[in-house]
């Protein structure tokens, strides 16, 4: 029995407008306005006294580009319902698909590893990785700070340094680090205009959409939730609690829970099989779903 009489933790709408102004002793005094709007919904579902929840949201610089409230509610409900009836699975190794909204985190770990602070402190699994093949040759990551209406666009960074287009990864090879003026000096390099973070990282996408990625994976796990902070930034060891969907023959068979997915980030990056064209543009890192060829899935 599925209960839907109390099926929501609520919806929220937020709207922000700000003006950022920066000045320094080098003679710079400049600013720019920003806006952001977000509409979200959390849905609950119950089956056989087991509760599940999931959510969906839309965010944009302009209100007219938000998804409709109906679409957000329907999407959140579908995501919640697919989690009902979850079961455990035995420990195994299998391909793992990180949907676009989850895949952003994988790229975020890479960015953290090539930050100047991690490099000069020598506290990263990608130490001195400039010029090194980290990803497959089909994968590129570009920074594009000046895309109109993109959520991480900015004309200058937190130190007033002008932002610019650059390639972080080309043909799978790291092209440089993410540097502020301080971390650049510590490394004997020049700032890359990234004090305060990166600005619109675009991960090159392939030709397959989400259903086609499932077919390509054939048998494996789709991640729907990650829990905990089990990432060692020095060694790259990756181990996180998870829930997901088990796939066989390219079709979802049943939801799973109480599992752990584990590997090393270096191996995961080298073993990326596909990047989908289902790009999630709701953040500073824009990527499609990422299919990793093999991970350890710890269950019963």
Phi, psi (degrees; rounded to nearest 5) at 233? -70, -15
3-state SS, residue 130: coil
Domain end point (choices 81, 114, 141): 81
- The answer to the question of residue 161 being in a domain is no
Selection from 42, 35, 36 nearest residue 12 by Cα: 42
Cross-strand pairs, 108: none
Q: How far is CA 172 from CA 55, 99, 110, 146, 168, in A?
A: 33, 21, 12, 24, 9
For range 221-238, the mean pLDDT: 95
Would residue 44 count as lying in a domain? yes
Domain C-terminal end among 24, 50, 81: 81
Model confidence at 3: pLDDT above 80: no
Are residues 213 and 284 located together in one domain of the fold?
yes
- How does pLDDT run across 78-93, given as a tens digit for each residue? 999 999 999 999 999 9
Average pLDDT over residues 44-66: 92
> Is 20 found in the same domain as 54?
yes
Q: Are 68 and 99 in the same domain?
A: no
Locate 29 and state its tokens. Answer: 């005094």
Residue 6 pLDDT = 61
| 57 in the same domain as 97 | no
272: containing domain = 92-103+205-298
Give the integer Cα–Cα distance in Å for 210 and 71.
18
Q: Tell me: do 7 and 67 sit in the same domain.
A: yes
Q: Two tokens at 249?
A: 């023959």
Indicate if the pLDDT at residue 7 is higher than 90.
no
How far apart, in whole angstroms, are the C-alpha atoms of residue 27 and residue 271?
48
Say whether both 24 and 99 belong to one domain. no
Tell me if 133 is assigned to some domain.
Answer: no
Compute, in degrees rounded to 10, the torsion defined by CA atoms 114, 231, 91, 218.
Answer: -30
R_g of the chain, CA atoms, integer Å? 21
Lowest mean pLDDT among 2-11, 73-82, 117-126, 176-185: 2-11
b/e map 262-293, b = 16+ CB within 10 Å: bbbbbebbebbbbbbbbbbbbbbbbbbbbbbb
| Domain membership flag for residue 264 | yes
Q: Are residues 21 and 96 in the same domain?
A: no
Residue ending a domain, among 46, 81, 116, is 81
The pLDDT, as a whole number, for residue 98 is: 98
Does residue 1 register a pLDDT over 90? Answer: no
Give yes or no for residue 252 having a pLDDT over 50. yes
Compute the average pLDDT of residues 86-108: 96
What 3-state DSSP class applies to 214? helix
User: CA–CA distance from 143 to each of 99, 140, 147, 154, 169 (Å)?
Assistant: 21, 10, 10, 11, 10
Indicate if 77 and 97 belong to the same structural domain. no
Rounded CA separation 36/65 (Å): 11
Nearest CA-CA partner of 241 in 255, 257, 253, 254: 257
Residue 228 has pLDDT above 90, yes or no: no
The pLDDT of residue 199 is above 80 = yes
Residue recorded with tokens 């977000």? 38
Q: Residue 57: inside a domain, yes or no?
A: yes
Q: Evaluate whether residue 162 is within a structural domain.
A: no
Domain tally, the chain:
2
Would the pTM of this model clear 0.75, i.e. be above it? yes
- Specify the higher pLDDT residue, 228 or 141: 141
Same-domain pairing of 98 and 48: no
Please report whether residue 170 resides in a domain. no
Rounded average pLDDT over 39-60: 92
Please, which residues bridge with residue 8 across strands? Answer: 43
Q: What is the mean pLDDT of residues 226-248?
A: 95
Percent of the chain with pLDDT over 90: 92
pLDDT at position 10 is 84
Order of strands, sheet of 285-286, starting from the edge strand that comes earlier in the sequence: 173-174, 166-170, 141-143, 201-203, 285-286
> 96 near 221, Cβ under 8 Å?
yes
According to the model, what pLDDT value does residue 4 have?
Answer: 42
Q: What is the CATH number of the domain that holds 38?
A: 3.30.2290.10
For residue 227, the model assigns a pLDDT of: 93
| Mean pLDDT, all residues of the chain | 95
Whether residue 235 lies inside any domain: the answer is yes
Cα dihedral sign, 270-271-274-276? negative
Is residue 203 scored above 50 in pLDDT? Answer: yes
Do residues 70 and 216 both lie within one domain?
no
Q: What is the mean pLDDT of residues 213-240?
A: 95
Which whole number is the average pLDDT over 112-123?
A: 98
Identify the H or E element spanning 269.
helix 265-270
């Amino acid at each position: 029995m599925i209960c839907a009489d109390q099926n929501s933790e609520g919806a929220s709408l937020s709207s922000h407008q700000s003006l950022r102004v920066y000045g320094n002793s080098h003679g710079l005094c400049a600013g720019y306005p920003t806006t952001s709007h977000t509409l979200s919904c959390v849905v609950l579902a119950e089956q056989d006294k087991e509760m599940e929840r999931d959510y969906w949201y839309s965010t944009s610089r302009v209100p007219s580009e938000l998804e409709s409230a109906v679409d957000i509610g329907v999407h959140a409900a579908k995501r919640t319902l697919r989690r009902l009836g979850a079961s455990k699975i035995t420990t195994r190794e299998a391909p793992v698909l990180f949907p676009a909204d989850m895949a952003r985190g994988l790229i975020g770990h890479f960015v953290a590893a090539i930050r100047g602070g991690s490099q000069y402190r020598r506290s990263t699994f990608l130490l001195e990785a400039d010029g090194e093949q980290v990803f497959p040759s089909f994968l590129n990551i570009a920074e594009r700070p000046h895309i109109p209406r993109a959520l991480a666009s900015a004309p200058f960074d937190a130190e007033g340094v002008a932002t610019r287009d650059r390639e972080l990864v080309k043909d799978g090879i790291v092209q440089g680090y993410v540097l502020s003026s301080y971390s650049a000096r510590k490394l004997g390099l020049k700032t890359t205009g990234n004090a305060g973070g990166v600005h619109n990282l675009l991960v090159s996408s392939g030709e397959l959409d989400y259903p086609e990625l499932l077919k390509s994976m054939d048998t494996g796990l789709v991640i729907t939730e990650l829990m905990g902070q089990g990432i060692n930034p020095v060694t790259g060891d990756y181990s996180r609690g998870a829930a997901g969907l088990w796939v066989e023959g390219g079709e979802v068979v049943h939801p799973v829970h109480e599992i752990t997915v584990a590997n090393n980030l270096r191996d995961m990056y080298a073993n990326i099989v596909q990047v989908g064209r289902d790009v999630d543009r709701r953040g500073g890192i824009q990527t499609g779903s990422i299919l990793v060829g093999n991970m350890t899935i710890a269950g019963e």
